[in-house]
Amino acid sequence: MSNFWSWYIIVLTVVFLVLITWLLFATRKGQKPDQTTQTMGHAYDGIEEYDNPLPRWWFMLFVATLVFTVIYLILYPGMGKFPGVLGWTQVNQYEREVERAEARFEPIYAKYRDMSIADVARDEEARRIGQRLFATNCSVCHGSDARGAYGFPNLTDNDWLWGGEPEQILTTLRQGRQATMAAWLPVIGEDGVRATAAYVRSLSGLETEGGDLERGKQIFATNCVACHGPEGKGNHLLGAPNLTDDVWLYGSSTMQVEHTIRAGRNGNMPSQAHLGDDKLHMLAAYVYSLSLEDK
Protein backbone atom coordinates (compact mmCIF):
# COMPACT_ATOMS: atom_id res chain seq x y z
CA MET A 1 0.00 0.00 0.00
CA SER A 2 1.38 3.41 -0.95
CA ASN A 3 1.73 6.21 1.60
CA PHE A 4 -1.04 8.18 -0.14
CA TRP A 5 -3.64 5.45 0.29
CA SER A 6 -2.42 4.72 3.80
CA TRP A 7 -2.98 8.32 4.88
CA TYR A 8 -6.23 8.45 2.91
CA ILE A 9 -7.60 5.56 5.00
CA ILE A 10 -6.26 6.99 8.26
CA VAL A 11 -7.75 10.45 7.70
CA LEU A 12 -11.14 9.08 6.63
CA THR A 13 -11.27 6.72 9.61
CA VAL A 14 -10.41 9.46 12.13
CA VAL A 15 -12.79 11.98 10.56
CA PHE A 16 -15.72 9.57 10.61
CA LEU A 17 -15.01 8.52 14.20
CA VAL A 18 -14.97 12.17 15.26
CA LEU A 19 -18.17 12.92 13.36
CA ILE A 20 -19.98 9.92 14.82
CA THR A 21 -18.86 10.89 18.33
CA TRP A 22 -20.01 14.49 17.81
CA LEU A 23 -23.36 13.34 16.40
CA LEU A 24 -23.95 11.01 19.34
CA PHE A 25 -23.29 13.68 21.99
CA ALA A 26 -24.80 16.59 20.06
CA THR A 27 -28.17 14.88 19.77
CA ARG A 28 -27.97 13.91 23.42
CA LYS A 29 -27.08 17.39 24.69
CA GLY A 30 -29.84 19.29 26.41
CA GLN A 31 -32.27 16.38 26.48
CA LYS A 32 -33.72 15.27 29.74
CA PRO A 33 -33.58 11.57 30.49
CA ASP A 34 -37.18 11.68 31.68
CA GLN A 35 -40.02 10.96 29.28
CA THR A 36 -41.77 13.87 27.63
CA THR A 37 -45.16 14.44 26.05
CA GLN A 38 -43.63 16.35 23.16
CA THR A 39 -44.12 14.56 19.83
CA MET A 40 -42.21 14.60 16.55
CA GLY A 41 -45.13 16.37 14.87
CA HIS A 42 -46.38 13.60 12.63
CA ALA A 43 -48.77 10.69 12.99
CA TYR A 44 -49.50 7.47 11.14
CA ASP A 45 -52.78 5.61 11.60
CA GLY A 46 -53.35 7.71 14.66
CA ILE A 47 -49.99 6.74 16.18
CA GLU A 48 -47.69 9.60 17.24
CA GLU A 49 -43.96 9.35 17.93
CA TYR A 50 -42.73 10.97 21.15
CA ASP A 51 -39.52 13.00 21.11
CA ASN A 52 -37.78 11.08 23.88
CA PRO A 53 -34.00 10.68 24.18
CA LEU A 54 -32.32 7.30 23.95
CA PRO A 55 -32.39 5.28 27.16
CA ARG A 56 -29.21 5.78 29.14
CA TRP A 57 -28.12 2.15 28.76
CA TRP A 58 -28.54 2.41 24.98
CA PHE A 59 -26.52 5.64 24.86
CA MET A 60 -23.75 4.08 26.96
CA LEU A 61 -23.68 1.09 24.60
CA PHE A 62 -22.91 3.43 21.71
CA VAL A 63 -20.16 5.07 23.76
CA ALA A 64 -18.70 1.63 24.57
CA THR A 65 -18.54 0.71 20.87
CA LEU A 66 -16.62 3.91 20.13
CA VAL A 67 -14.17 3.23 22.95
CA PHE A 68 -13.73 -0.34 21.74
CA THR A 69 -13.09 0.93 18.19
CA VAL A 70 -10.33 3.29 19.32
CA ILE A 71 -8.64 0.61 21.44
CA TYR A 72 -8.87 -1.93 18.61
CA LEU A 73 -7.33 0.45 16.05
CA ILE A 74 -4.45 1.11 18.45
CA LEU A 75 -3.74 -2.56 19.12
CA TYR A 76 -4.43 -4.09 15.70
CA PRO A 77 -3.94 -3.09 12.04
CA GLY A 78 -6.77 -1.03 10.60
CA MET A 79 -5.33 2.42 10.06
CA GLY A 80 -3.58 2.29 6.70
CA LYS A 81 -0.09 0.81 7.05
CA PHE A 82 -0.02 1.20 10.83
CA PRO A 83 0.60 -2.38 12.09
CA GLY A 84 -0.83 -1.89 15.57
CA VAL A 85 1.18 -1.92 18.77
CA LEU A 86 0.73 -5.71 19.17
CA GLY A 87 2.24 -6.42 15.75
CA TRP A 88 -0.53 -8.90 14.90
CA THR A 89 -0.86 -10.11 11.31
CA GLN A 90 -2.92 -12.80 9.60
CA VAL A 91 0.27 -14.48 8.42
CA ASN A 92 1.72 -14.66 11.93
CA GLN A 93 -1.49 -16.08 13.33
CA TYR A 94 -1.70 -18.66 10.53
CA GLU A 95 1.92 -19.73 11.10
CA ARG A 96 1.31 -20.11 14.84
CA GLU A 97 -1.79 -22.21 14.23
CA VAL A 98 0.11 -24.39 11.77
CA GLU A 99 2.90 -24.89 14.31
CA ARG A 100 0.40 -25.91 16.99
CA ALA A 101 -1.32 -28.31 14.60
CA GLU A 102 1.96 -29.86 13.51
CA ALA A 103 3.04 -30.32 17.12
CA ARG A 104 -0.28 -31.97 17.90
CA PHE A 105 -0.35 -34.33 14.92
CA GLU A 106 3.38 -35.06 14.70
CA PRO A 107 3.14 -38.24 16.84
CA ILE A 108 0.32 -39.54 14.62
CA TYR A 109 2.21 -38.99 11.38
CA ALA A 110 5.42 -40.35 12.92
CA LYS A 111 3.66 -43.66 13.50
CA TYR A 112 3.19 -44.16 9.76
CA ARG A 113 6.23 -42.31 8.42
CA ASP A 114 8.45 -45.35 8.11
CA MET A 115 5.71 -47.70 6.89
CA SER A 116 5.30 -48.40 3.21
CA ILE A 117 2.36 -46.81 1.43
CA ALA A 118 0.89 -50.26 0.82
CA ASP A 119 1.01 -51.08 4.54
CA VAL A 120 -0.45 -47.71 5.52
CA ALA A 121 -3.29 -48.30 3.03
CA ARG A 122 -4.33 -51.37 5.00
CA ASP A 123 -4.47 -49.53 8.34
CA GLU A 124 -8.01 -48.45 9.24
CA GLU A 125 -6.97 -45.41 11.30
CA ALA A 126 -4.61 -44.26 8.54
CA ARG A 127 -7.37 -44.54 5.96
CA ARG A 128 -9.63 -42.34 8.07
CA ILE A 129 -6.89 -39.70 8.23
CA GLY A 130 -6.30 -40.01 4.50
CA GLN A 131 -10.02 -39.72 3.80
CA ARG A 132 -10.18 -36.39 5.63
CA LEU A 133 -7.16 -35.14 3.68
CA PHE A 134 -8.83 -36.28 0.46
CA ALA A 135 -12.11 -34.57 1.34
CA THR A 136 -10.29 -31.31 2.01
CA ASN A 137 -7.91 -31.27 -0.95
CA CYS A 138 -9.15 -33.62 -3.68
CA SER A 139 -12.91 -34.07 -3.52
CA VAL A 140 -13.64 -30.82 -5.36
CA CYS A 141 -12.39 -32.51 -8.57
CA HIS A 142 -12.65 -36.24 -7.96
CA GLY A 143 -15.84 -36.16 -5.88
CA SER A 144 -16.37 -37.10 -2.25
CA ASP A 145 -16.58 -40.77 -3.28
CA ALA A 146 -13.47 -40.45 -5.50
CA ARG A 147 -15.39 -41.70 -8.52
CA GLY A 148 -14.49 -38.66 -10.58
CA ALA A 149 -16.54 -36.80 -13.14
CA TYR A 150 -16.33 -35.68 -16.75
CA GLY A 151 -12.64 -34.85 -17.27
CA PHE A 152 -11.64 -36.02 -13.77
CA PRO A 153 -10.44 -39.62 -13.31
CA ASN A 154 -12.24 -42.22 -11.23
CA LEU A 155 -9.76 -43.28 -8.54
CA THR A 156 -11.61 -46.44 -7.51
CA ASP A 157 -11.52 -48.52 -10.69
CA ASN A 158 -7.82 -49.44 -10.99
CA ASP A 159 -7.56 -47.68 -14.35
CA TRP A 160 -4.65 -45.24 -14.09
CA LEU A 161 -3.32 -42.70 -16.54
CA TRP A 162 0.02 -42.30 -14.79
CA GLY A 163 0.20 -45.62 -12.96
CA GLY A 164 -1.51 -46.93 -9.86
CA GLU A 165 1.41 -48.30 -7.89
CA PRO A 166 2.12 -46.57 -4.55
CA GLU A 167 5.20 -44.66 -5.67
CA GLN A 168 3.52 -43.59 -8.90
CA ILE A 169 0.55 -42.21 -6.99
CA LEU A 170 2.90 -40.39 -4.60
CA THR A 171 4.76 -38.86 -7.55
CA THR A 172 1.49 -37.70 -9.07
CA LEU A 173 0.49 -36.01 -5.82
CA ARG A 174 3.88 -34.43 -5.21
CA GLN A 175 4.66 -33.20 -8.72
CA GLY A 176 1.23 -32.88 -10.32
CA ARG A 177 0.55 -33.97 -13.90
CA GLN A 178 0.09 -32.18 -17.20
CA ALA A 179 -1.60 -34.29 -19.87
CA THR A 180 -1.91 -33.14 -23.48
CA MET A 181 -3.80 -34.77 -26.31
CA ALA A 182 -2.88 -33.10 -29.60
CA ALA A 183 -5.56 -31.79 -31.97
CA TRP A 184 -5.44 -33.99 -35.08
CA LEU A 185 -7.93 -32.26 -37.37
CA PRO A 186 -5.25 -30.24 -39.22
CA VAL A 187 -3.29 -33.45 -39.85
CA ILE A 188 -5.88 -36.08 -40.76
CA GLY A 189 -8.87 -33.98 -41.82
CA GLU A 190 -12.53 -34.42 -40.94
CA ASP A 191 -12.87 -37.80 -42.72
CA GLY A 192 -9.80 -39.02 -40.86
CA VAL A 193 -11.27 -37.87 -37.56
CA ARG A 194 -14.44 -39.90 -38.16
CA ALA A 195 -12.52 -43.00 -39.28
CA THR A 196 -10.10 -42.83 -36.34
CA ALA A 197 -12.92 -42.31 -33.85
CA ALA A 198 -14.70 -45.37 -35.20
CA TYR A 199 -11.54 -47.47 -34.91
CA VAL A 200 -10.74 -46.21 -31.39
CA ARG A 201 -14.27 -47.01 -30.22
CA SER A 202 -13.98 -50.48 -31.75
CA LEU A 203 -10.97 -51.20 -29.53
CA SER A 204 -13.34 -51.20 -26.55
CA GLY A 205 -15.98 -53.26 -28.37
CA LEU A 206 -18.32 -50.34 -29.02
CA GLU A 207 -20.57 -50.27 -32.07
CA THR A 208 -19.03 -48.52 -35.08
CA GLU A 209 -21.67 -48.69 -37.78
CA GLY A 210 -20.70 -46.75 -40.90
CA GLY A 211 -17.12 -46.15 -39.76
CA ASP A 212 -14.17 -46.83 -42.03
CA LEU A 213 -12.31 -49.06 -39.57
CA GLU A 214 -9.53 -50.00 -41.98
CA ARG A 215 -8.63 -46.40 -42.69
CA GLY A 216 -8.95 -45.54 -39.01
CA LYS A 217 -6.56 -48.36 -38.16
CA GLN A 218 -4.03 -47.04 -40.66
CA ILE A 219 -4.27 -43.50 -39.28
CA PHE A 220 -3.94 -44.82 -35.74
CA ALA A 221 -0.84 -46.81 -36.68
CA THR A 222 0.72 -43.74 -38.25
CA ASN A 223 -0.14 -41.06 -35.72
CA CYS A 224 -1.33 -42.53 -32.41
CA VAL A 225 0.86 -45.50 -31.53
CA ALA A 226 3.68 -43.26 -30.26
CA CYS A 227 1.57 -42.47 -27.21
CA HIS A 228 -1.11 -45.14 -27.00
CA GLY A 229 0.99 -48.09 -28.21
CA PRO A 230 0.36 -50.38 -31.18
CA GLU A 231 -2.48 -52.16 -29.36
CA GLY A 232 -3.96 -48.97 -27.89
CA LYS A 233 -3.20 -49.96 -24.30
CA GLY A 234 -1.72 -46.60 -23.36
CA ASN A 235 1.50 -45.52 -21.66
CA HIS A 236 1.81 -44.53 -18.01
CA LEU A 237 4.99 -42.58 -18.67
CA LEU A 238 3.08 -40.19 -20.91
CA GLY A 239 -0.31 -40.32 -19.22
CA ALA A 240 -1.77 -41.79 -22.42
CA PRO A 241 -4.97 -43.72 -21.60
CA ASN A 242 -5.69 -47.33 -22.38
CA LEU A 243 -8.20 -47.28 -25.27
CA THR A 244 -9.23 -50.92 -24.95
CA ASP A 245 -10.83 -51.05 -21.49
CA ASP A 246 -14.01 -49.04 -22.14
CA VAL A 247 -13.04 -46.43 -19.53
CA TRP A 248 -13.43 -42.93 -20.96
CA LEU A 249 -12.37 -39.72 -19.27
CA TYR A 250 -14.20 -37.47 -21.73
CA GLY A 251 -17.01 -39.78 -22.82
CA SER A 252 -17.32 -42.69 -25.26
CA SER A 253 -20.02 -41.50 -27.63
CA THR A 254 -19.09 -41.04 -31.28
CA MET A 255 -19.46 -37.28 -30.95
CA GLN A 256 -17.29 -37.12 -27.81
CA VAL A 257 -14.51 -39.30 -29.21
CA GLU A 258 -14.51 -37.36 -32.47
CA HIS A 259 -14.26 -34.10 -30.54
CA THR A 260 -11.31 -35.44 -28.54
CA ILE A 261 -9.47 -36.37 -31.73
CA ARG A 262 -10.49 -33.23 -33.57
CA ALA A 263 -9.73 -30.59 -30.94
CA GLY A 264 -7.43 -32.40 -28.50
CA ARG A 265 -7.58 -32.39 -24.72
CA ASN A 266 -5.56 -30.76 -21.95
CA GLY A 267 -5.68 -32.05 -18.41
CA ASN A 268 -3.95 -30.60 -15.38
CA MET A 269 -3.45 -32.25 -12.01
CA PRO A 270 -2.01 -29.58 -9.64
CA SER A 271 0.86 -30.44 -7.35
CA GLN A 272 -0.09 -31.08 -3.73
CA ALA A 273 3.47 -30.63 -2.46
CA HIS A 274 2.29 -27.83 -0.16
CA LEU A 275 0.79 -30.50 2.11
CA GLY A 276 4.22 -31.76 3.12
CA ASP A 277 5.72 -35.23 2.97
CA ASP A 278 3.80 -36.72 5.91
CA LYS A 279 0.36 -35.74 4.60
CA LEU A 280 1.29 -36.77 1.06
CA HIS A 281 2.30 -40.18 2.42
CA MET A 282 -1.10 -40.61 4.09
CA LEU A 283 -3.01 -39.25 1.10
CA ALA A 284 -1.19 -41.54 -1.34
CA ALA A 285 -2.01 -44.49 0.90
CA TYR A 286 -5.69 -43.59 0.96
CA VAL A 287 -5.88 -43.18 -2.82
CA TYR A 288 -4.07 -46.49 -3.24
CA SER A 289 -6.52 -48.17 -0.87
CA LEU A 290 -9.51 -47.07 -2.98
CA SER A 291 -8.72 -49.61 -5.69
CA LEU A 292 -7.18 -52.38 -3.57
CA GLU A 293 -10.16 -54.65 -4.22
CA ASP A 294 -9.46 -54.51 -7.95
CA LYS A 295 -5.74 -55.21 -7.64
Per the domain annotation, does 46 fall within a domain?
yes
Q: Burial level of 137, CB count in 10 A (0-12/13-18/19+)? A: middle
Do 252 and 131 have their domain in common? no
Do 162 and 219 have their domain in common? no
SS3 18: helix
Per the domain annotation, does 251 fall within a domain?
yes
Do 264 and 283 have their domain in common? no
Per the domain annotation, does 88 fall within a domain?
no
Do 210 and 149 have their domain in common? no
- Whole-structure pTM value: 0.71
pLDDT for 105 equals 87
Do 118 and 168 have their domain in common? yes
Do 64 and 116 have their domain in common? no
Do 187 and 263 have their domain in common? yes
> In which domain, by residue range, is 14 found?
3-75
Do 162 and 284 have their domain in common? yes
Per the domain annotation, does 227 fall within a domain?
yes
Do 161 and 188 have their domain in common? no
Integer Cα distance of 156 and 164 in angstroms: 10
5-33 pLDDT, tens per residue? 999 999 999 999 999 999 988 877 555 55
> Residue 41 — pLDDT band, cuts 50, 70, 90?
confident
Per the domain annotation, does 80 fall within a domain?
no
- Helix (H) or strand (E) segment spanning residue 98: helix 90-113
CATH of the domain at 233: 1.10.760.10
Tally of domains in the chain: 3
Q: How many residues does the chain have?
A: 295
117-129 pLDDT, tens per residue? 999 999 999 999 9
Do 200 and 162 have their domain in common? no
